[in-house]
Structures are given as structure tokens and as C-alpha cells.
Amino acid sequence: AQKVTQAQTEISVVEKEDVTLDCVYETRDTTYYLFWYKQPPSGELVFLIRRNSFDEQNEISGRYSWNFQKSTSSFNFTITASQVVDSAVYFCALSDPRGNNDMRFGAGTRLTVKP
């Protein structure tokens, strides 16, 4: 069965600190996709990134970066020089689009960035 674990329930940092959100996944599939979504206080879900299981290259987008390591089944998300606007709940998710079209989300990590 597919499972996503985000062990950090809440993280609090001061503005300009770097912060890493952990995501560990379990799947028996060889082809799968990993995602990160952001849910700001307004409640909507914002897509951040998708990564397929065959692409282990790290990705950087501005202050955001993602580290995918199949050896440890992890897909961690780092925010560099955090800002107050980064305060949100962040979800990691896993899917196998060739299978049952199911997507499994982690429980989420609430990030609070204090000024």
C-alpha cells in the first residue's frame, strides 16, 4: 500500500532562517509521482512541484528546493531565507497514475514563519 509520512507536525522559524520539511514515502510501485502542495491560511491548495520516480535530480525554484532520494524514499522540501508569506501547511503526496488513480497525502506540516 502507498503511504506518505510527514513526521514534523509543526515547525516554527524566524524570518530569513532556512527550513526543511521532511517527507518519507512507501510504495511497491516502480513508477510513481511525488508532489508538494501548499495550503496557506486562506485554505486553498496550491501545487508546488511534481517529480516522477525516474528523475532524481534536485530541483530549485527561487527560494524553494526539493531533494528526492530513492535510496531513502524521501522527498524533502527546503525553503531558503524563509518569509512570513511562507507560513502555511505543506503537504507531500504520492500517486501511481498507472494503477488505481489514487493519490495519498501526508498529514501535512504546519510552518509558521515569525517576523
**Phi first, then psi: what are they for 84, rounded to 5°?**
-55, -35
Per CB under 8 A, the segment of 1-9, 17-25, 57-65, 75-83 that binds another protein is 1-9
Q: Is 107 in the site for another protein (CB under 8 A)?
A: yes
Nearest one of 79, 74, 75, 76 to 64, comparing CA atoms: 79
The binder of another protein chosen from 30, 44, 57, 71 (CB under 8 A)? 44
Q: Tell me how far apart the terminal alpha carbons of the chain are, to the nearest angstrom.
A: 41
Q: Is 61 in the site for another protein (CB under 8 A)?
A: no
Neighbours of 15 (CB within 10 A): 14
**Phi first, then psi: what are they for 14, rounded to 5°?**
-95, 145
Q: Is 47 in the site for another protein (CB under 8 A)?
A: yes
In terms of CB distance, is 4 or 19 closer to another protein?
4
The binder of another protein chosen from 18, 26, 56, 102 (CB under 8 A)? 102
The binder of another protein chosen from 69, 72, 83, 97 (CB under 8 A)? 97
In terms of CB distance, is 8 or 80 closer to another protein?
8
The binder of another protein chosen from 27, 76, 82, 95 (CB under 8 A)? 95
100 to each of 2, 4, 97, how far by Cα in Å? 11, 17, 7
